[in-house]
Amino acid sequence: MRDGIGLIPDALVDPVNEVDHVRTRNSLIGLRIIDTRAQLFAAEELLTGDDRYVAVRDAYLQRREFLINDGEADVDYDNDF
């Protein structure tokens, strides 16, 4: 939610919008899109790693447990250390 709302002021103060030459401005926006896609490759690698089915199944089960417990996480962090 916070990131979505933050896009509005970011768009208003974006220096790319101040570029008058249309071709240059569109090139900068396209370059930004390509950079964002390149940064998302790491997240995509998590899903398509060894077994995509296992990753999707685990995400589903974690979300289901979260909803069943009304947002209460039943995690014992003491055993991790």
Please state the separation of Cα 20 from the chain's center in Å.
31
SS3 label, residue 73: coil
> What is the average pLDDT across 11-33?
93
Express each pLDDT in 42-68 by its tens digit.
777 766 667 778 878 888 888 888 888
Q: What is the DSSP string of 36-54?
A: HHHHTHHHHHHHSSS-HHH
Q: What is the pLDDT of residue 70?
A: 79
Q: What is the pLDDT of residue 16?
A: 92
When comparing pLDDT for 81 and 44, which is higher? 44
Cα 79 to Cα 62: distance, rounded to the nearest angstrom: 19
